Amino acid sequence: MAEDDIEIDLDDLQRRMEGALASLRTEFASLRTGRASASMLEPVQVEAYGQMTPINQVGTVNVPEPRMVTINVWDKGLVGKVEKAIRESGLGINPQLNGTIIMLPIPELNEERRKELTKVAAHYAEHARVAIRNVRRDGMDQIKKAKAAGMSEDDQKLWESEVQDLTDTHIGKVDDSLSTKQEEIMQV
């Protein structure tokens, strides 16, 4: 194998690290802060027409004010099921019915709950860091294999520094996202 044939797929490594970041953003969105947000309902599924369906596919989700989420359910027959799904979701929100509109008043978070949520956010961030480090390890393994296949010492060092830079950048993004989320949670 000629040295020119040896390629490390940095795009694949970057895509996988971006995937870890995207997953972290989704997890952060499901953390309830004192503010209302339509994304907090994303994990909630409703049994509709014989299958589990996301809430945003059975009604329109709106945030008319900072502490209120409303769901305008399209099918009257599903209102009870949507309400039940929200009650059982573990979000800690008490839905109020108004015809086909379900109102979700978002209660204030107490100090203890805020601290708990910052710990959960830190836990999610650590999972993302581990995922990014695993991608880094895969990249380093590819480089080792390429070295065994004839990659020069200089090329090996160059690729290792590329992979490390990619890793540092993504870990930095995780840390930034975490501090932003923790500030948002602690904001009264």
Boundaries of domain holding 136: 10-29+110-186
CATH number of the domain within which 42 lies = 3.30.1360.40
pLDDT tens track for 112-151: 878 888 888 999 999 999 999 999 999 999 999 999 999 8
Q: What is the pTM of this model?
A: 0.66
Number of domains within the chain? 2
Closest CA to 95 of 114, 109, 81, 108: 81
To which H or E segment does residue 166 belong? helix 153-186
